[in-house]
Structure formats: structure tokens, C-alpha cells
Amino acid sequence: MSRPPDRLTSLFHSGDALRSRSVSDVVLWGRLDLPAPPARLVADWEREVAARLELEPGDVESLPLARARARWPDYRHCVQAMSDWTRTLGLSEVLATSEVALMACRGARYHHDGEHYGGAAFCNLFVSEDKGLDLHFPVAGHRIPLARGTAVVFDTGQPHAVIRRHGGGFDPADFAPGLDCTQVFLTWELPIEDPHVGRTLRVDFDTDPAAALGIDQEQVRLNGERAVVCSESGRWRRPA
């Protein structure tokens, strides 16, 4: 007798209460034609990463967006390209009303973001050159090469990581000091309850209303139990 498929449920804040929904395995991606950021801006990011952020392997941290915009003549072009692309996906004008941030990562351990951003989908635009890294979704079965112009939309509850191309999992040694492996990207939080976002990612809502009434913290549940992600493999497991 075959085993029934795993059931993933995201419990997220909706107004003053929690609401349940499915976790989408839809990952949308493409490669946009973007001009390279100015060399002086890239150098500024490198100094910021080295001097202030001091990124360790797997770390993901924010960079100052306002300062970058002042030194980035093609920033508007990047945003417009992303807006045009998301519109072709059926997301209408949702990008224009969503919060944007500038991030840097030195790889990323396998994780999900459903405990803090369960009410959102992430929309990322990578602006660094190809450094031999992939964005990997082990459960959903997607592996996306990262290069300038790589654009991705995905459910925050879906496990993902940034790992070495062709690697089998996250290994800190792949991001050792001295290696050029930092990726910079713009990220938007798209409201999952927006009808265009929910429909495009094929999210079902109110899938477990009883669970939403019984807890007060956002989380992802696997077959009815709270679950976490193994940081090295991306597999679901129960909390220790």
C-alpha cells in the first residue's frame, strides 16, 4: 500500500488572527536582461559585506537600499524589468505596492521563511554575476542557476538554499574565506492573500482552520505537526 503524500500547511497572520493555507510547490523563474551594476557600487557592496556584515557561510543579511539607489543609475530599469516580468505571470501590479529590500548572502543554509513571512511569497531579482551557485528547492524539485538577471517567485514556506552548483547540499567549506561567492539581490514580499498571488502560486486557503485556532505563532506544519528543515539537506524533520 502506497504512502499518502505529505501535507504541508502554513499558519500565518491574517489581520488579528491566524489563517491556514497550503504551501505551494510552484516556483516561477526566468532570466531578465539587466545591465551590470556600476563597478563602484559593486565595490561598495563588497566593502559593506566585509566590514559591517562580516557574512559567515550561509548568512543572509540586508544592505542599505537607499544608498545603493543613489549610486545605481539603472535601479529603475531593474525594477521595471521585474514589474514587466511579474505582470506576464499574472501578478498584475502587486509588485508596485510590495515592500522591497536589498540583500546579500554568502550561500544560504536550507531553511523556510514560513515562521516569519507566512503571509507572503518572495520575489527575488539577483543582480550579481554568475559565481557557480544555485538556488535549490529540494522538496519542490527545482534547481535554478544564479546569475545577473535571475528572477524567482516562490512560497516562503517552501524549503530552499543557495548552494554550490552540482553540489548535493549545503557545505560551509564551499563558502570559505577568500572565495568570491557573495550574491546580492533585490527581494519583494508579495501578499499571499492577494488574489493574483494566491491564484498564480495555486495556494488553497483555510485548509486547516482548527489548527489556526489552536496556536498563536506562525509556522509550517507537516501532516499536522510543526516541522523544521535540516539545514544541510533541506529535508523536513520534527523539532528537537
pLDDT at residue 121 greater than cutoff 60: yes
List, for residues 11-41, the tens digit of each pLDDT value: 999 998 999 999 999 999 999 999 999 999 9
* CB-based contact 130:197 (threshold 8 Å): no
Mean pLDDT for the chain overall: 94
pLDDT at residue 7 greater than cutoff 90: no
Please compute Rg for the chain using Cα positions.
Answer: 18
Residue that the C-alpha cell 527545482 belongs to: 142
* CB-based contact 109:182 (threshold 8 Å): no
The 10 Å CB-count burial string (b at 16+, else e) for 11-23 is bbebeeebbbbbb
User: What's the grid cell of residue 127?
Assistant: 543582480
pLDDT at residue 238 greater than cutoff 80: no
User: What's the grid cell of residue 238?
Assistant: 520534527
- Provide the pLDDT for residue 51: 86
The 10 Å CB-count burial string (b at 16+, else e) for 27-52 is bbeeebebeebeeebeebbeebbeee
User: Alpha helix (H) ranges present in 99-237?
Assistant: 195-200, 209-214
- Provide the pLDDT for residue 76: 96
Averaged over 145-173, what is the pLDDT? 96
Strands (E) located in 106-182? 108-111, 120-126, 133-137, 142-145, 150-155, 160-164
- Provide the pLDDT for residue 47: 93
The closest alpha carbon to 150, from 176, 128, 172, belongs to: 128
pLDDT at residue 215 greater than cutoff 90: no
pLDDT at residue 138 greater than cutoff 80: yes
User: What domains, with CATH codes, occur in the chain?
Assistant: 8-22+201-237 (no CATH), 27-200 (2.60.120.10)
Neighbour tally for 189: CB within 10 Å = 17
pLDDT at residue 239 greater than cutoff 80: no
Instruction: Report the distance separating Cα 189 and Cα 181, nearest Å.
Output: 25
**Identity (one letter) of the amino acid at 102?**
L
List, for residues 67-120, the tens digit of each pLDDT value: 999 999 999 999 999 999 999 999 999 999 999 999 999 999 999 999 999 999
Instruction: Report the distance separating Cα 86 and Cα 82, nearest Å.
Output: 6
Instruction: Report the distance separating Cα 240 and Cα 221, nearest Å.
Output: 15
Neighbour tally for 165: CB within 10 Å = 14
